[in-house]
Structure 1
Amino acid sequence: MKSATSRSRWTLFLVIAVCAAPVILSYLSYYWIKPEGRTNYGTLLDPRLFPMPAMMLSRVENSAPAEIQDTNGKWRMLMVTDAPCTQQCEATLYQIRQLRLMQGKEQSRIERIWLITDQYQPPVAQLQAVTGMHVLRADATPLNKWLPVEQGKAPAMYWYLLDPLGNLVMRYPVGSDTVKIKKDISKLLKASGIG
């Protein structure tokens, strides 16, 4: 009789262990086994920390007033420069253009914005090279407070991705890998039902 009771108890404990094992393993993996990799290449930004400020903007080509909000409803690639556009700047503008084209049929969901924070007037050839891009002049003060940068770096050392609601969501250092950025943007467009 004792051996039947003992066997029943062991069977009960075994059933409990089998049922509890997935719960215990998931708890351990969630709290102690942290994944090393991440799925995004750029720096993911918390939009709540960087609300878009009110900014006075004007179009470079004709000084007409403009707003970043004019492009609401679209994803936006935002580049900021505070000096004449050098070779590296031109390379970044070209990269942003190519990244948009690489999205294929989804490219219509993306706008490109170049904010110039000084009195630099891009030559005609440079403006022609960025046809379709919103080239705007902006005051550096609100931009510098808004755009997140690492200590000792300027906003011009990065370019940014804004979601269709105007929130900053990603930051990329100038010179980042185009293929990896394309994957980030493709994932965002696929996962997003807006824009």
Structure 2
Amino acid sequence: MSTSSPPPSKTDSPAAAPLPGQPTSKGSWKRGRWMVLFLALVCAAPVIASYLTYYVFKPKGGTSSYGTLIEPQRPIPPALMVTGDDGKPLRLASLRGRWLLISVDSSACDKACVTKLYFMRQIRATQAGQRERLVPVWLRTDSAKVPDVIREAYPDTGMLIADPAAIAKWLPNDAGTTMVDHIYLVDPNGNLMMRFPKNPNPSKIKVDVTKLLKFSGIG
């Protein structure tokens, strides 16, 4: 006597075919997600590297930078006005878009003042193809005439008149110093980022500036 096979159960029925483009297994779906994450990390690597270099990896006994990092960063005050050679007022924040090396001194510009202007000029000159991204700025604390010899020696330095009281509220200084003792660095977003010490080593300032220009220029 012949016997018939039992009817197939629901569990024996073949699985529905995957739709076009749909992962064929959970493993494929997980691999796809990891690949997307990997690509995102590769794209973000330059930004991550710059933050790690300056804020995480620090050699024993000190930080990774010569200058003192300003934390939290201080944006240029929106109301801080300066006056150019044309006598017209402008907001200092309008200089955003490039890195600024800032020095503060009276228009008479003594030996220490000239030394800072020289350092800023030379640091900019050593940046080669990146030099146009860096602007030296001299914030003058009075409206007296700048000596011709200084004006002629530093034609690429912005010489702007500013209210010293307003500048002092923005620019911090080390203990036992004043703002005229320092060179400051402002990033292209207008944030005060770094303060260099009194009587600085220009070669070490150059190293910091070169790193920042390199990392911020990637991507």
TM-score (norm 2): 0.67
Q: Deviations over 1:9-33 (max 9, x none)?
A: xxxxxxxxxxxxxxxxxxxxxxxxx
After superposition, residues 79-94 of structure 1 pair within 5 angstroms as: 79-82=103-106, 84-94=108-118
Where in structure 1 do 4 or more consecutive aligned residues deviate above 6 Å?
none
After superposition, residues 45-194 of structure 1 pair within 5 angstroms as: 45-48=70-73, 50-53=74-77, 54-59=79-84, 61-82=85-106, 84-193=108-217
Alignment partner for residue 64 of structure 2, among 33, 39, 45? Answer: 39
SS at match of 2:160: strand
Q: Structure 1 residue 47: deviation in Å?
A: 4.2
Q: Structure 1 residue 83: deviation in Å?
A: 6.0
Q: Deviations over 1:51-92 (max 9, x none)?
A: 322212101x33122332232110000111146201121111
Q: Could you tell me which amino acid in structure 1 is paired with residue 83 of structure 2?
A: S
Q: Which runs of 5+ in 2 are unaligned?
A: 1-58
Q: Could you tell me which amino acid in structure 1 is paired with residue 70 of structure 2?
A: L
Are the counterparts in 1 of residues 125 and 131 from structure 2 also a CA contact under 8 Å?
yes
Q: Structure 1 residue 38: deviation in Å?
A: 2.3
How many residues are aligned here? 159
Are the counterparts in 2 of residues 47 and 167 from structure 1 also a CA contact under 8 Å?
no
Q: Deviations over 1:116-148 (max 9, x none)?
A: 112332122211111011110001111111101
Aligned CA distance change for structure 1 residues 176 and 84 (closer, same or farther; 3 Å) = same
Larger Cα-atom Rg: 2
Q: Could you tell me which amino acid in structure 1 is paired with residue 60 of structure 2?
A: P
Q: Which runs of 5+ in 1 are unaligned?
A: 1-33
Q: Which moved more, 1:101-110 or 1:81-90?
A: 81-90
Q: Could you tell me which amino acid in structure 2 is paired with residue 35 of structure 1?
A: K
Cα distance in 1, alignment partners of residues 203 and 139 from structure 2: 24
Q: Could you tell me which amino acid in structure 2 is paired with residue 190 of structure 1?
A: K
Cα distance in 1, alignment partners of residues 196 and 92 from structure 2: 19
Are the counterparts in 1 of residues 83 and 161 from structure 2 also a CA contact under 8 Å?
yes
Q: Structure 1 residue 160: deviation in Å?
A: 0.2
TM-score (norm 1): 0.75
Cα distance in 1, alignment partners of residues 204 and 216 from structure 2: 19
Cα distance in 2, alignment partners of residues 105 and 138 from structure 1: 31
Q: Which moved more, 1:116-125 or 1:177-186?
A: 116-125
SS at match of 1:96: helix
Q: Which has the higher helix share?
A: 1
Cα distance in 2, alignment partners of residues 99 and 174 from structure 1: 16
Are the counterparts in 2 of residues 103 and 186 from structure 1 also a CA contact under 8 Å?
yes
